[in-house]
């Protein structure tokens, strides 16, 4: 029995030494020290021993049991420490690894150009006014000296919702709404940015929906020279100090006289494909506010005069950034839009 116990002990110690993990170690504990284990079996057989042998064997069983239990405990400490080490190694964060880049969007070129134009005019004392995109025929046409049936209405092919309601074709109705709010008292000095809609066929320079910025100044003694000076500052700030402007006679029912305003081309007047060989590029329409428009909005046209202008941001952006097709603004090609990111 003594030999049996010694063999049991060395067998158990061997297995404990070889145990690779805590589960295996626990299996060994159950196998050797559990109720159905060999040590318990030996204890059960003690009844067959003589009275002198019994205490001797009892003491030996206790020693074997204790030796195995201690070895298991020691091994458990070692394996637990190893498990913690392994977990720590797995959870290590390598702070030297490169991070994943955060994707930052770019401001849309039209937003950018609109804000740039707004800032420029706010710097000259203008305030920003806004109006509805679904507009009444009255504000879009009639109050701008374009009564029903006027042939000049054809200049702006219109999306009508009802005979009296339409998608505004320009930002000029905001002029009328703002002047009405002033109750016939000047000065008025506003710019009105916003979306406009026309039944134009889309091509490289036309879109059925585009953006405009309107400018309006009404006061006493406002003259054509004020308009010219203002637009000259605009052109130089927007396109470069070396740029000139040129006013050509034109026609708008809401201004008299009316002009088309050209900016000198970046080719310096030599002629290139952008200016189609003329040295000048058309950028906006303008003029002195027609007395009928002033009167309809409640202003005394013998006391007040004013100038107004309207431009399309797409065309300004195309010129400034060298964009060859207006459709780029509306097709959401990221390769195009990313070029306007300030982060790359």
Q: Binding site for Mg(2+): what residues are annotated? A: 256
Cβ distance 288 to 227 under 8 Å?
A: yes
| The binder of ligand FA5 chosen from 24, 200, 232, 244 (CB under 6 A) | 200
Minimum distance from CB of 214 to ligand FA5 (Å)?
A: 6
Q: Is 121 in the site for ligand FA5 (CB under 6 A)?
A: no
- Burial letters for 156-188: b for 16+ Cβ neighbours within 10 Å, e otherwise? bebeeeeeeebbbbbbbbbbbbbbeeeeeebeb
Confirm if 214 and 308 have CB atoms less than 8 A apart: yes
Taking the complex as a whole, how short is the minimal distance between the CB of residue 313 and ligand FA5, in angstroms?
8
What are 12's two structure tokens? 């158990």
198 near ligand FA5, rule: CB under 6 A: yes
| Rounded least distance, CB 252 to ligand FA5, Å | 4
Q: Which of residues 7-46 bind ligand FA5 (CB under 6 A)?
A: none
User: 316, 239 in Cβ contact below 8 A?
Assistant: no
Query: Using the rule CB under 6 A, is 210 a contact of ligand FA5?
Result: yes
The answer to whether 234 contacts ligand FA5 (rule: CB under 6 A) is no
Tell me which DSSP letter residue 156 carries: S
Instruction: Output the CA–CA distances (angstroms, integers) from residue 337 to 27, 185, 203, 279, 314, in the order listed.
Output: 65, 44, 19, 29, 14
Query: Does 207 engage in binding with ligand FA5 (CB under 6 A)?
Result: yes
Burial of 197 per CB tally in 10 Å (0-12, 13-18, 19+): buried
Selected from 293, 296, 311, 323, the binder of ligand FA5 by CB under 6 A is 311
114 binds ligand FA5 (CB under 6 A): no
Nearer residue to ligand FA5 within complex by CB, 37 or 285:
285
Compute CA distances 237 → 192, 227, 319, whole Å: 19, 16, 14
Q: In the window 145-164, what residues touch ligand FA5 (CB under 6 A)?
A: 156
Among 252, 280, 304, 329, binds ligand FA5 (CB under 6 A): 252
Judge contact between 118 and 128, C-beta under 8 A.
Answer: yes
Q: What residues pair up with 189 in beta bridges, in sequence order?
A: 217
For ligand FA5 (CB under 6 A), the number of binding residues is: 24
Q: Applying CB under 6 A, which of residues 299, 315, 328, 329 lies at the interface with ligand FA5?
A: 315
In angstroms, give the least distance from the CB of 96 to ligand FA5: 52
Token pair for 92: 């290590």
Q: Which is nearer to ligand FA5, 72 or 316 (CB)?
A: 316
Residues from 53 through 92 that contact ligand FA5 (CB under 6 A)? none
Distances (CA, A) of 276 to 9, 256, 273, 326: 103, 29, 5, 17
Chain Cα centroid distance, residue 44: 80
Considering Cα of 265, then 271, then 273, then 278, what sign does the dihedral take? positive
- Residue 317 sits in the site that holds ligand FA5 (CB under 6 A): no
178 binds ligand FA5 (CB under 6 A): no
Sole window of 68-76, 159-167, 203-211, 297-305 interacting with ligand FA5 (rule: CB under 6 A): 203-211
Tokens linked to 75: 């091994």
**What is the spatial distance between Cα 294 and Cα 150, in angstroms, rounded to a whole number?**
19
Residue from 25, 231, 314, 317 binding ligand FA5 (CB under 6 A):
314
- Is residue 319 at the binding interface for ligand FA5, with CB under 6 A as the rule? no
Residues 269-308 as x/- pattern, contact with ligand FA5 by CB under 6 A? ---------------xxxx--------------------x
CB of residue 203 vs ligand FA5: minimum separation in angstroms?
9
Residues that bind ligand FA5 (CB under 6 A): 156, 170, 172, 198, 200, 206-207, 210, 212, 214, 252, 255, 284-287, 308-312, 314-315, 326
């Amino acid at each position: 029995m003594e030999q049996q116990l010694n063999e049991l002990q060395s067998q158990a110690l061997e297995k404990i030494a070889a145990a690779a993990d805590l589960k295996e170690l626990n299996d060994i504990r159950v196998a050797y020290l559990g109720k159905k284990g060999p040590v318990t079996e030996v204890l059960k057989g003690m009844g067959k021993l003589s009275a002198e042998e019994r205490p001797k064997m009892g003491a030996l069983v206790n020693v074997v049991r204790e030796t195995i239990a201690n070895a298991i405990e020691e091994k458990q400490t070692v394996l637990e420490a190893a498990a913690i080490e392994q977990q720590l190694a797995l959870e290590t964060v390598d702070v030297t690894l490169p991070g994943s880049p955060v994707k930052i969007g770019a401001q849309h070129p039209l937003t950018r150009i609109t804000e740039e134009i707004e800032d420029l005019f706010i710097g000259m004392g203008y305030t920003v006014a806004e109006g509805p995109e679904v507009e009444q025929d009255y504000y879009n046409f009639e109050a701008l000296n374009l009564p029903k049936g006027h042939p000049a209405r054809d200049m702006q092919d219109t999306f009508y919702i009802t005979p009296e309601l339409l998608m505004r074709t320009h930002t000029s109705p905001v002029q009328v709404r703002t002047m009405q709010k002033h109750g016939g008292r000047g000065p008025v000095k506003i710019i009105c940015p916003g979306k406009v809609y026309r039944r134009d066929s889309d091509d490289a320079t036309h879109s059925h929906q585009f953006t405009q910025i309107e400018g309006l100044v009404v006061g006493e003694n406002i003259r054509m020279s004020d308009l010219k000076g203002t637009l000259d500052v605009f052109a130089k700030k927007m396109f470069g100090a070396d740029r000139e402007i040129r006013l050509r006679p034109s026609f708008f029912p809401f201004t008299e006289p009316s002009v088309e305003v050209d900016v000198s081309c970046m080719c310096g007047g030599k002629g290139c494909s952008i200016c189609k060989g003329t040295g000048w590029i058309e950028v906006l329409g303008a003029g002195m506010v027609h007395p009928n428009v002033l009167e309809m909005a409640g202003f005394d046209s013998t006391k007040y005069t004013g100038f107004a202008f309207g431009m399309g941001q797409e065309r300004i952006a195309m010129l400034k950034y060298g964009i060859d097709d207006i459709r780029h603004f509306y097709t959401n090609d990221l390769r195009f839009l990313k070029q306007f990111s300030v982060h790359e």
